[in-house]
Amino acid sequence: MRTKKEIFYKIMTIVLVAAYSLHTSSCASTKAAPSGGPKDTIPPVVVGMYPANNNVNFPVKDGEVEIEFDEYVIIKDANKNILLSPPLKKQVKTRIKGKSVIVTFPEQLDSNCTYSLNFGEAIADNNENNPYYGLSYSFSTGKEIDSLMLSGTVVDATTLFPIANATVALYLQAKDSTVITTRPDAVARTDKWGYFTVKNLKDKPYHVFAFTDDNTNNRYDQGNEKVAFLDTTVTPVKVMKKDSPELKYYDSKDTLACLSRPSEVDLLIFKENSKVQFIRENNRFSRRGMGIGFNAANATVDSIGIDGIPDNMLITQNNITNDSLTIWIKEGIKVPDTLRVAVKYHKTDSTGTLVPAVENLKMVAPAEKKQQRRGKQSEENEKGNKPEKRRDLLEVTVSADNKMVEQEGIILKFKEPLAQMLMDSITFRMKNPRMIESKVEYTFERDSLEITRYIVRTEEPYIKGNDYTLVIPKATFKDINGFTNDSIEIKISLPTDENLSSLTLEMKNVDSRYIVELINPARSQVFRKYIISDDCDLLFPYLTAGEYSVRITEDKNGNGIIDTGELLVRNQPEKVLLYKLDDGKDIIKIAERTELVQTVDINSMFGKK
């Protein structure tokens, strides 16, 4: 038996140990919490599907699908991510039950129909939001599962960039307006690379469309969304298999793998021009100038009448797509502050038919606002002791890029049409390296599409190493307001940087009109543009080292722009392609001091014989 002294020492030992433990715990709490182990990066795993995947005789009414996982999961953006093919009128319903996702259908399914349920990025684990990509489930309300598939890509018709999250819609029976009025027989959505695979198809011909389904109603909303279509039907031939590359999930960052996937069809998506015609806007941008904007292209204007202004005192200009009209009143007549303009044109009525109509517009000159700006400018000039800009100054915008002047010329842009030009006062001279000057013969022409734009071109080619000077004296130009220009001096000399390079395209088998553009890889900048209709050599000089692409457009109507398509009359947009090198890449890398030559076979590029 222990003595009281031993018991006392035992108790004290326990107390001291406990106190030490509390002390160390308290000290530890002032530091960072200990690690809980490595972060969970593993997505959830499917452990069961009920009924089993590819189940047949699924009930057309009150059917339910359960997908069980090895951990708790969440559902993200179900309406955006979960897609049933073929779609129902209403979105499928989902809920969480334990570690399972339950899917129910808000309406009766079709009989003898194979359905494919695709979850996109909807499923993720509950703790770390690790997504489960590529999850799909198929079933049939009949006795067989349709097992064919069709893959392809959707790209923008103009930029050729892939279109993500576009709806690809297949129809067994289709009329011109089917994609607008009817739900598809099968659907899929494109990934970030514009790639899609439509699953569980029949061995029958399908009409193929794609559209940007912004409101997720599985129909193309004309006027608001973009659309694409194939000219012919497609009958699927590939059978769905577990190891099919079309059905595998690929990380979107794995460029090589994503681009190497099989693609059977290519869809060029475009925005249709509106067919509903009316006057969308109007504005009076100056005392003598006004603009009218129409909602649709190719507006038919029968007449323009302005109270108190004779018709022969009007200058009019349409833009190239004929959906904008600019009107100026010539010099020599007083213009009131308020103009009443009657526009007689063809307007779309309630039945969608173009009928003659007259609209009366009231346009007020921005004189007061203009005067306020002038007053503010005068005040600022007085404070800075700067001479005040004269109120009758005709401002001229000059564009004279040394790298582009050989092709584009020297461009002069005015705000209003000119009323007078004293051409004899303009001088254009050239100075060679020996400082010997000589006269330069030139042409001065108004742009055929823009009456306020003029182009100065030399009759002889520019010579590298020579300096050129174009001098335009004061009051050479006078516009319809009576404003005159200050003196202008423009200096030009071709680039002499020895590090610059050039690209020459040998255009072969050119059988019609094409637009050829040198662009940056982002396709946001055009460095130089040619329009050709015959075999020729195109020179792109003065290029800095870097990456470039060549975009070629089949300009069928010869208007110099890329025209969009039209669904109901089955017009595809004008075909745009990027020139590809022998390795299949569309980016041309140009080094310093390089004279690169490439041969472009137009017939081969555009699939012509």
- Please check whether residues 550 and 480 belong to one and the same domain: no
DSSP notation for 321-387? TS-EEEEEEPSSS---SEEEEEEEEEEE-TTS-EEEEEEEEEEE--HHHHHHHHHHHHHHHHHTTPP
Report how far residue 422's alpha carbon sits from residue 476's, in angstroms, rounded to the nearest whole number.
5
Residue 15's pLDDT is: 43
Give the count of domains, the chain.
5
Domain end residue (candidates: 475, 492, 509): 492
- Please check whether residues 166 and 258 belong to one and the same domain: yes
In a domain, 9, yes or no: no
Residue 6's pLDDT is: 47
- What confidence tens digit (pLDDT) does each residue in 208-264 have? 999 999 988 999 999 889 999 999 999 999 999 989 999 998 888 999 999 999 999
Show the tokens assigned to 435. 């400082």
- Please check whether residues 258 and 296 belong to one and the same domain: no
- Please check whether residues 86 and 127 belong to one and the same domain: yes
pTM value is 0.81
- Please check whether residues 485 and 517 belong to one and the same domain: no
Residue 386's pLDDT is: 65
**Strand ranges inside 157-234, DSSP E:** 167-171, 186-189, 195-201, 207-211, 227-229
Q: What is the CATH number of the domain that holds 265?
A: 2.60.40.10
Q: What is the CATH number of the domain that holds 446?
A: 2.60.40.3710
Q: What is the CATH number of the domain that holds 73?
A: 2.60.40.1220
Q: Are strands 265-269 and 148-156 parallel, antiparallel or unpaired?
A: parallel
> Cβ distance 376 to 356 under 8 Å?
no
Q: Are strands 501-508 and 588-590 parallel, antiparallel or unpaired?
A: unpaired
Residue 498's pLDDT is: 92
In sign, the C-alpha dihedral spanning 68, 69, 74, 78 is negative
Residue 27's pLDDT is: 42
More confident residue, 30 or 429: 429
Report how far residue 379's alpha carbon sits from residue 72's, in angstroms, rounded to the nearest whole number.
71
Distances (CA, A) of 76 to 80, 122, 124, 451, 506: 9, 5, 8, 56, 53
Residue 22's pLDDT is: 43
In a domain, 557, yes or no: yes
Residue 32 — very low, low, confident or very high, per pLDDT cuts 50/70/90? Answer: very low
In a domain, 391, yes or no: no
Residue spans of alpha helices (H) in 419-537: none
Q: Which residue has tokens 């398509």?
A: 565
Show the tokens assigned to 430. 């050239």
Report how far residue 441's alpha carbon sits from residue 424's, in angstroms, rounded to the nearest whole number.
12
Q: If you average pLDDT over residues 352-360, what whole number do you get?
A: 96
Show the tokens assigned to 10. 């035992």
- Please check whether residues 167 and 232 belong to one and the same domain: yes
Q: For the chain, what is the mean pLDDT?
A: 90
- What confidence tens digit (pLDDT) does each residue in 366-395 have? 865 444 445 555 555 555 566 678 899 999
In a domain, 382, yes or no: no
Residue 368's pLDDT is: 56
Q: If you average pLDDT over residues 396-417, what whole number do you get?
A: 96
Phi, psi of 110 (to 5 degrees): -75, 150
Show the tokens assigned to 294. 């129409």
In a domain, 252, yes or no: yes
Q: Are strands 83-85 and 453-458 parallel, antiparallel or unpaired?
A: unpaired
Residue 14's pLDDT is: 46
Q: If you average pLDDT over residues 447-461, what whole number do you get?
A: 96
- Please check whether residues 63 and 120 belong to one and the same domain: yes
In a domain, 384, yes or no: no
Show the tokens assigned to 290. 């006004």
Q: What is the CATH number of the domain that holds 566?
A: 2.60.40
- What confidence tens digit (pLDDT) does each residue in 71-122 have? 999 999 998 899 999 999 999 999 999 999 999 999 999 999 999 999 998 9
Domain end residue (candidates: 140, 175, 208): 140
Domain residue limits at 332:
279-367
In a domain, 12, yes or no: no
- What confidence tens digit (pLDDT) does each residue in 61-84 have? 999 999 999 999 999 999 889 999
DSSP notation for 62-115? S-EEEEEESS-EEE--HHHH-EEES--SS--EEEEETTEEEEE-SSPPPTT-EE
When computed from its CA atoms, the radius of gyration of the chain, rounded to whole angstroms, is: 35
- Please check whether residues 251 and 292 belong to one and the same domain: no
Q: Is the pLDDT of residue 24 over 60?
A: no
Domain end residue (candidates: 140, 175, 190): 140
Residue 16's pLDDT is: 44
- Please check whether residues 159 and 68 belong to one and the same domain: no
Report how far residue 117's alpha carbon sits from residue 94's, in angstroms, rounded to the nearest whole number.
12
Residue 261's pLDDT is: 95
Q: Is the pLDDT of residue 33 over 90?
A: no
